[in-house]
Amino acid sequence: MPLFPMDFTISEKMQTTLNLIRTFLAKEVDPLEQTFFRKPFRELLPELGLLRAKVKQMGLWGPQLPEELGGMGLSLVEHGLVSEALGRSSLGHYLFGCQAPDAGNIEILHMFGTEEQKERYLKPLAAGEIRSCFAMTEVNTAGSNPTLLESTAVKDGDEYVLNGHKWYTTGADGASFSIAMMVTNPKASPALRASMFIVPTDNPGFQLMRNIQIMGESGSDYFSHGEVMFQSCRIPKENLLGREGHGFRIAQERLGPGRIHHCMRWLGICSRAFDMLCERANERVITLDGRTLADNDAIQHKVAELYAEIQQARLSVLHAAWMIDNDGATKARDHIAAIKFSVAGTMQRVIDAALQIHGGLGMSDDTILAYLYRHERGARIYDGADEVHKSSLGKRILKDYAKGKR
Ligand SMILES: Cc1cc2nc3c(=O)[nH]c(=O)nc-3n(C[C@H](O)[C@H](O)[C@H](O)COP(=O)(O)OP(=O)(O)OC[C@H]3O[C@@H](n4cnc5c(N)ncnc54)[C@H](O)[C@@H]3O)c2cc1C
């Protein structure tokens, strides 16, 4: 096992920022939570718009955005810490302008967009004036292996004609444009077969069929996952993002930092659920002589195990972020793959334990736990299912050992 140096010192400025965020969420956002559970997201938009304006006034908008795009220009480690703080609230990332999939779309538009694409799509997206979505997964092919994609984009004069049936296009409802992954070169090698396109959602060839009902909820606007059709959808050739055939390469750029954001958000969720678990264990009386759940050995062991697991997860995510900041995403590849499946598992175990300790209350929507149990289960599937990451990481490690590289 190689050893890596690391320095996780948190600057005073960063500590102040984190305190500001925690106070803002506790005072202004937590009181909205019960309404968020009960009302369609779309109905909350006016109120959320006001909160977003306050975030901007405080200089906390877009922690992941470079300063030239109106953001805070934080390093990945710093943004990771912010993401963790925001993750304690289900509205945190949306209110601070760093929600998926917009954050990833901003990143690739910034890296690969033309000047015109940046002006038209990137600037309003980074400012939170519009939203976007990312359409890659198809209904009829295994999303775990994107080289199987069947949706096509065929060049026709100055246009491309797109056809395909996608789903799990998060936030398609209300998005102004989609970034769509389409096969442009079916005969090319698998890695060079697909390209990315910017498709305005008011194009007559783009149709949102439905918001998929997920664990009982269809959601609306940003909090939804759409099934979408591209039918003879004509877009100008200028809407190609990056080079033709480079779709997967661009997607790789999107995933490295994106996984740090996700994992730290999940750790924010872990810290919230763990707090709730411990508070409930201390309060809940389970015997006539006043003993509480906290007096029980089984609960004490569970708390200790989860505490250790969260600590381990947190350090490995910060370490992966630190490596990306200092050595680049390619060198951090194994660390990124490892945290994706391990932290998703940690989060699932922490939410499950917190729900269990709350008993019937945990199953109800009177606390956030049932919401987290439903909506965060997807973490083990999106951005690469557990098994896919484990296979590719395990294969790479064993190959390296066979070559004497480790
Ligand atoms: C909440 C949520 C949000 C999403 N948002 C988006 C989005 O915005 N845009 C987008 O394009 N997609 C999105 N997705 C789709 C997501 O990327 C896919 O669901 C994922 O890639 C898996 O593809 P699939 O659903 O087709 O499952 P399949 O590929 O059919 O795989 C099904 C299961 O089989 C197992 N499996 C697959 N391959 C292997 C293997 N090689 N070895 C062992 N086991 C394997 C895994 O357990 C996997 O979960 C989202 C999904 C969810 C749940």
- Contact between 386 and 345 under an 8 Å Cβ cutoff? The reply is yes
Q: pLDDT averaged over the chain?
A: 95
Residue 170 alpha carbon to ligand 1 centre in Å: 13
Dump pLDDT digits (tens) for 301-359. Answer: 999 999 999 999 999 999 999 999 998 888 899 999 999 999 999 999 999 999 999 99
Residue with tokens 């959320």: 48
Question: Which SS3 state, helix, strand or coil, does residue 221 take?
Answer: coil
Q: In a 3-state reduction of DSSP, which class is residue 85?
A: helix
> Does the structure show a pLDDT above 90 at 406?
no
**Which residue has the least CA distance to atom 4 on ligand 1?**
168
Domain 249-402 has CATH 1.20.140.10: yes
- Interval between CA 138 and ligand 1 midpoint (Å): 10
Band of pLDDT at residue 3, cut at 50, 70 and 90:
low
pLDDT of residue 320: 94
Domain ranges of the chain: 12-105, 132-241, 249-402
Residue 1: predicted pLDDT? 52
Q: Does domain 12-105 have CATH number 1.10.540.10?
A: yes
CATH class of the region 132-241: mainly beta
Ligand 1 pocket at CB < 6 A: 101, 134-137, 142-144, 168-170, 225, 378, 381-382, 385, 387-388, 391
How far does the centroid of ligand 1 lie from the alpha carbon of residue 144, in Å? Answer: 5
Mean pLDDT, range 162-184, rounded to an integer: 98
User: What is the predicted pLDDT for the residue at 144?
Assistant: 96
For the segment 34-57, the average pLDDT, to the nearest whole number, is 95
- If phi > 0 it is left, if psi is from -120 to 50 it is alpha, else beta; for residue 359 that is left
Q: What confidence score (pLDDT) does residue 100 get?
A: 95
Q: Look up the pTM and report it.
A: 0.95
Q: Is 326 exposed, middle or buried (0-12, 13-18, 19+ CB in 10 A)?
A: middle
pLDDT value of residue 405: 83
Model confidence at 258: pLDDT above 90: no
| Mean pLDDT (whole number) for 157-173 | 98
* 4 pLDDT more than 70: no
Pocket test for ligand 1, best of 90, 131, 132, 144 (most atoms within 8 A of CB): 144
pLDDT in tens, 85-107: 999 999 999 999 999 999 999 99
Closest residue to atom 7 of ligand 1, CA basis: 169
Long-range contacts of 79-82 (CB under 8 A, 24+ apart): 79/257, 79/260, 79/261, 79/264, 79/321, 80/260, 80/261, 80/263, 80/264, 80/317, 80/318, 80/321, 81/10, 81/14, 81/18, 81/264, 81/318, 82/17, 82/18, 82/21
Is residue 393 scored above 80 in pLDDT? yes
